[in-house]
Amino acid sequence: MPSLGMPAGRLFMELYGIAHHDFGSSPLNIEIRNMAFDRKDLSDQELIHFYRSILYPRMIEEKMLILLRQGRISKWFSGIGQEAIAVGATLALQEDEWIMPLHRNLGVFTSRGMPLSKLFMQWQGAREGYSKGRERSFHFGNRDYHICGMISHLGPQLAIADGVSLAHKLRHQTSGDALKVSLAFTGEGGTSEGDFHEALNLAAVWDLPVIFLIENNGYGLSTPTTEQYRCISLVDKARGYGMEGVQIDGNNLLQVYDTIKGVREYCLRHQKPYLIEAMTFRMRGHEEASGTKYVPSHLFELWEKKDPVKNYEEYLLQQNVLTPDSVSSIRESLRQQIEDELAIGFDTKPVVPDTASELNDIYAPSTTASGARVLDNAATGYQPEGPAREMRMIDAIKEGLLMSMQKHENLVLMGQDIAEYGGAFKITEGFVSQFGKSRVRNTPICESVVVGAALGLSLEGYKSMMEMQFADFVTVGFNQIVNNLAKIHYRWGQNADVVIRMPTGAGVGAGPFHSQSNEAWFVHTPGLKIVYPSTPMDAKGLLIAAINDPNPVMYFEHKALYRSVSGQVPSEYYEIEIGRARHVREGDEIGIITYGSGVHWAEDFAAEHPEISIDILDLRTLLPIDYESIRTAVKRTGRILVLHEDTLTGGIGGEIAAWIAEHCFEFLDAPVMRCASLDTPVPFSLELEKNFLPKSRLKNNIEKLMNY
C-alpha cells in the first residue's frame, strides 16, 4: 500500500502522474492517466472474487435503472463509477467490523452478503424489507451484517463510528476481546458539516481506531468542489486533527483494498484514527430525477476512461486471470442470480398499515430484568418502606447514578468537565477515582458527536449517560437526538440505550442561555422518553429507570431544586415507573396538573390557601404521558389549570388542554386554563425573571378559574 507517512499531495501526484502545477483540489480539474494495478500477494481466486464483488453491484444498478424507467421502483441514488470504494473498503475489513455507508454504497451491502431479494423488497418499500417499509433505499442498517445506515443529514454517522470504536476499545481493556476498527463514509460535501469536524476531533482526542473515508466525487448534488472548500486536498485536514491521512485513486479497486487493509492494521496497532480521501466521479445525477446538465460533458468522457469495473476487468484479462469466455460466464451467472433474486423480491404482499404495530415499534421492549424493585409511590400519602434517609435532590441524583455505575459495568458517562472536576454541579465528583477515566469521560465541547458516539456505544451493547452541561446547550446536539436516537428503533429495530441528563430551568438569575425550559422541543418527537422529577425520591428512581430502559431518555433535572428541595429517599436500588404520574395532593375544587418546579409552586400556594381544596398531579413523565391519571384528575375537580415553567406558546400545556377538551369534555365545569412563563427569552435580572416565571401569575389564574 502507499506509504502512510507520505504527504497527501505528493501521493496524489504519483497516483495520477501529474505535475505539481496541474494539481487540483477535486476530481473536476485533473488530467487522468492509465490506472496501475498491483495485485501484491492476492491469488487468482481472490482477484476473481474481487471481480465478482465489483461487477455485481454494477449489474444490479443497471437493472435498477431499467426498473426505474418502468416505474417499478420510485427512486435511485446511483453509485455507478464509484463501486471500487464501497467494495474495496468492505473487503478489507473483518465481517464483524461496523461500516457506516452512504446512499451510493450498494457495494457495502452486497459485499457483506445481504440478499438482493430482501434488498429489493427494501427498495420497493415492502413490509418484507429490512425496515418494514418505513425507510427508503439505503437509509437503514442491520446488526447481523454490522452495517449502520445513514440518515439524510450525511454527517451524523461519523460520530456513530466513534462510539462503536470506543466500545471495542473498552471491551478489549476489560475482557481482552480482539480490537476492531469502524469505518464511516462521507462525501466531500459532508466534510463541510460540523459533524465531520467533531467526529474527527473526538476520535483523535480519544485515540479511537476509526477509518474516515471521504468519497470525493466532485459534486454535492449540483454544487462543485470549487464552491465547497478551498484547501488543496481534503486529506490535508487530517494533520489539523493530529492524525494521518492519505489520498488514493478511488476507482482502483486493488489500491482501495490494499490501502484500507493497511490503514486498518495501522489503526489497530497504534489505536489511532485515519483519514482517507478517495478521488472518484459520479457518472450519473445526484439521483436519477436530478439529471447531470450541470456537469461539463468532457468530464464524463474523461472519467469514463477510469471506469473502475472496466479497468479492473481489462487488467485481469491482461494478466490471464480471466478470459473473454470466463468474463461472459461470470456476467451470465450474475445476470441469472439477479433475475432469480428479483423474482423473489417482487413476490411481496401489499402493505396493509397496522396502526397498533406502527405505534408498538416506536420503543424497544425491555428484554432483561433490571434487578431493581419498582416502587409505586403514585398515590398521595406514600411513605417509603424500609431504610431511607433525608436527601437533597442533587444527592439523590448522584446516588442513582452511582448505583447504576455499580450495577452496569457497561455503563459509560460522558460530558464536559464531568471527570476530575465532577461536572458543573458536582454530581459526578469522585466518580473517576471509583470507576476510572475509561468510564467517566471528559469530552471536548462537541455535543453532537457525543450524542452520536452514545448511539455507537449502543450498537455494541453498551449503555451511556451524556450530561448536557446545561439543557440550553442541547441545540447543538439536536439533530442526533431527534433524528438518530429517536427514530432508529422504528426505522430498523436498533435500540438507542442512551440517557441524556438535562440540567434545566430558571430561578437562579442565569439569563437566556443557562435557564431555558426546553422539554417541549422533545415531547414532539416520537421515540424519545422524557422524564422530569420534582422530588428526590423520584429523581433517584427515575434516573435508575432511565438507565435501565433500552430506549433514549431525556432526563430533565431542575437546577433550582438541586439544593433547595429535600425528602425521604429509599436507600435501596429501585425504579420509579416511567410513564406514571404521581398524585401529590387530594382536592375537589380545582386541579393543578404540573411537573418540575411547578409542583412546588402549586404545593406552596395550596398551603398558603387552605380555603381552596386544591388537587395536584405531578406528571413526572412527559413522554409517554399518563393520560389515564389526567382523566382521573379531571373527574376529581372538573376545573383544571395546567402549570409549567416553559413558555406558554407551544408548551406541553397546550397539548394537555387539547387532550382534556377532546376526551374529558363531559367532566369539565370550566375551560382548561394554562399558566406558563412569558413568551420571551429568560431575562437575567432577578426582578425580570420573577415576572417572567408563571409563579407570579399563579394566584390570578387560580382565582379566574375558580370564579368561572
From 576, 611, 644, the end of a domain falls on 576
- pLDDT per position as a tens digit, 60-70: 999 999 998 89
Q: Answer whether 149's CB lies under 8 Å from 139's CB.
A: yes
CATH code, domain carrying 603: 3.40.50.920
User: Does 365 map to a domain?
Assistant: no
Q: How far is CA 82 from the centre of its chain?
A: 26
User: Does 55 map to a domain?
Assistant: yes
| Cα Dmax for the chain | 98
Residues 6+ apart with CB under 8 A from 583: 378, 379, 380, 615, 616, 617, 618, 629, 633
Q: Which three cell numbers stand for residue 567?
A: 425528602
212 bridge partner residues = 184, 275
Place of cell 476492531: 180
Looking at the fold, whether 75 and 124 belong to one and the same domain comes out as yes
- pLDDT per position as a tens digit, 155-183: 899 999 999 999 999 999 999 999 999 99
Number of domains in the chain: 3
CATH code, domain carrying 541: 3.40.50.970
**From 514, 558, 600, 644, the catalytic residue:** 514
Predicted local confidence at residue 685, as pLDDT: 96
10-residue mean pLDDT series, the chain (708 residues)? 41 36 53 81 98 97 92 84 97 98 95 97 94 91 95 92 98 94 96 96 98 93 89 95 97 98 98 97 81 85 92 97 98 98 95 96 90 96 94 98 98 97 97 98 97 98 97 95 97 97 95 95 97 98 98 98 97 97 98 98 98 98 98 98 97 97 97 97 96 96 95
Looking at the fold, whether 607 and 536 belong to one and the same domain comes out as no
Looking at the fold, whether 555 and 642 belong to one and the same domain comes out as no
Looking at the fold, whether 314 and 411 belong to one and the same domain comes out as no
Distance between terminal CA atoms of the chain? 81
Q: Is 373 left (phi over 0), alpha (psi -120 to 50) or beta?
A: beta
From 576, 605, 633, the end of a domain falls on 576
* DSSP reduced 3-state for 309: helix
Predicted local confidence at residue 2, as pLDDT: 42
Residues 6+ apart with CB under 8 A from 87: 50, 53, 54, 57, 107, 108, 110, 111, 253, 256
Looking at the fold, whether 97 and 17 belong to one and the same domain comes out as yes
How far apart are the C-alpha atoms of 264 and 206, rounded to whole Å? Answer: 17
Q: How far is CA 630 from the centre of its chain?
A: 32
Instruction: Indicate the residue type of 291.
Output: G
User: Does 354 map to a domain?
Assistant: no
Predicted local confidence at residue 32, as pLDDT: 55
What is the CB-side half-sphere exposure of residue 615 using CA atoms within 13 A?
24
Q: Answer whether 160's CB lies under 8 Å from 186's CB.
A: no
Its pTM surpasses 0.85: yes
- pLDDT per position as a tens digit, 244-278: 999 999 999 999 999 999 999 999 999 999 999 99
Range of the domain at 468: 373-576
Looking at the fold, whether 178 and 281 belong to one and the same domain comes out as yes
Q: Which three cell numbers stand for residue 572?
A: 435501596
Told to judge if 514 belongs to the known catalytic residues of this protein, a careful annotator would answer yes
Predicted local confidence at residue 24, as pLDDT: 45
